[in-house]
Structure 1
Amino acid sequence: MEKQIESLLNKISIVAIILATLTLILLFIQIPETCFNPNTILKPHQKFPKSSCDASHRTLTSPDKQSRRIWATKAWQNGVASLLTTFLDLRDQNHFHNNSHVLCVSAGAGHCVMAFKGVGVSEITAVEIVESPPLVSRADPHNLPFFDGVFDLGFSGVFDRALFPGRYAEEMERVVKVGGVCVVAVEECGERVVKEVGNLFRKSEVVGVKNVSLLGSRMTRIVMRVNAAS
């Protein structure tokens, strides 16, 4: 009985091996429908490269074209428009003029640069931890690479996100000349927070507070005039 069972198992094994072998042979000799048939005659631009050296490079979009595509979006234009409104208000209050040298700290992708250009300012410097050419250069807002008192106005639309607010304020204040202004925006707040922010700018006095809409968020804009040399 055992010999019969062993003989049956051997037969089954042989049949399984034969079927597996036939299946492999069929896979090798048959071209799947999804594969490229090497016998197909292709036009020159359709030919597959023989190696990576023969492969033509994909046409890449230049950084300038990429930037212009972003600037054309509705989200970008709305962001710039909101900043443009508050900058016009600041100019009307004589906090800066078209010949002022403006610094944008933590400038992000550069909305503030375009907004300042929109109100007529030509001399604008913008910095951020990660650069966004051609509008924004790379620099640490806690250690600004500028001489003392070289700007007429310093602006930050994200002051409440600073890792070290005291140092951030000190650096903004240092690079703005006496008589110039530091303008910061924080999440919409009351008098207590405004006073706390003002205290961080130890050589300046708060000369204006206003709730505004910036980049789709309700913010409180605080204007401080620098009264003492850094």
Structure 2
Amino acid sequence: MDRHIQILLNRLSCASITIATFTIVLLLLHTPDTCVPRHTEPKPHQRFPTSSCDFSHRSLTSLDKKNQRLWSTKAWLKTVHSFTALFLDLQSLTHLTNHSKVLCISAGAGHEVMALHQIGVRDVTGVELLDSPPLVSRADPHNLPFFDDVFDLGFSAHLDQALFPTRFALEMERSVRVGGVSVLAVEECGDVEVREIAKLFRKSRFVSAKNVTLIGLKMTRLILRKYMLM
């Protein structure tokens, strides 16, 4: 009986090996459908690779085209328009002219930089932890790569989001020349909070504060003028 069982097991093993070998040969000889060259132009939603064997080269979208798409969106245009209104108000107060040298700190994708360009201010530098060329360069707002007293106006709408607000304020103040102004847009606040923010700027005098609407949010705009060297 044991001999018959052993013979049966040997036959099953041979059959399994034969089937496995035949299957492997078929897989090697068969070309996956996704690797067959397309003879017709695929539909837009089918232009992405469907497997690792779909290796055909695809043209990369240039930075200019990406920017043009971004800058033409309603959200982008609406945000730029909001910053434009704020800067036009600064112009009417004579804190900003077309010849001003402006620094935008924590400028994000560069909405405020574009807004300044659109109203005629050409010398604008935007910085952020991540660059967004051509509007914004990479720099740490807490350690700005600029000499002292370089800019006529420093602007930021993100002081209240800074990791180290005191360091952020001192770096902005350091980069602004004597007689220049630091302009901030922070979450809407009262007189007590305004005074606390003003204290961060040790070499500047408080000029004014005004509640404004920026990017659809209620905010408070502060202006401080630097009066002595760092």
Distance 2:155 2:75 in 1: 21
- 1:99 — aligned with what? 99
* 1:152 CA drift (Å): 1.8
* 1:31 CA drift (Å): 4.4
Secondary structure (helix, strand or coil) at the match of 1:67 reads: helix
* 1:107 CA drift (Å): 1.5
**Counterpart check, 1:198 vs 2:198:** yes
Distance 2:58 2:29 in 1: 34
Q: 1:36 to 1:200 in 2, by over 3 A?
A: same
Letter in structure 2 aligned against 1:16 = S
Q: Give the RMSD, CA atoms, in angstroms.
A: 2.6
Secondary structure (helix, strand or coil) at the match of 1:177 reads: strand
- 2:210 — aligned with what? 210
* 1:80 CA drift (Å): 0.6
- 2:88 — aligned with what? 88
Distance 2:229 2:92 in 1: 26
Letter in structure 2 aligned against 1:20 = A
**Counterpart check, 1:175 vs 2:144:** no
* 1:109 CA drift (Å): 1.5
Distance 2:88 2:176 in 1: 20
- 2:134 — aligned with what? 134
Q: 1:32 to 1:153 in 2, by over 3 A?
A: closer
Q: 1:120 to 1:22 in 2, by over 3 A?
A: closer
Q: Which runs of 5+ in 2 are unaligned?
A: 41-54
Give matches, 1:49-198, under 5 Å. 58-198=58-198
* 1:10 CA drift (Å): 2.3
Distance 2:34 2:228 in 1: 75
* 1:33 CA drift (Å): 4.2
TM-score, length of structure 2 as denominator length = 0.81
Q: 1:30 to 1:60 in 2, by over 3 A?
A: closer
Comparing 94-103 with 23-32, which one deviates more in the overlay? 23-32
TM-score, length of structure 1 as denominator length = 0.81
**Counterpart check, 1:219 vs 2:214:** no
Secondary structure (helix, strand or coil) at the match of 2:143 reads: coil
* 1:216 CA drift (Å): 4.2
Letter in structure 2 aligned against 1:122 = R
Q: 1:70 to 1:10 in 2, by over 3 A?
A: same
- 2:14 — aligned with what? 14
Distance 1:74 1:160 in 2: 27
Distance 2:215 2:30 in 1: 60
Query: How many residue pairs are counted as aligned between the two chains?
Result: 216
Greater Cα radius of gyration, structure 1 or 2: 1
* 1:214 CA drift (Å): 2.6
Distance 2:201 2:161 in 1: 16
Q: Which runs of 5+ in 1 are unaligned?
A: 44-54
Distance 1:150 1:32 in 2: 63
Distance 1:155 1:18 in 2: 77
* 1:199 CA drift (Å): 0.4
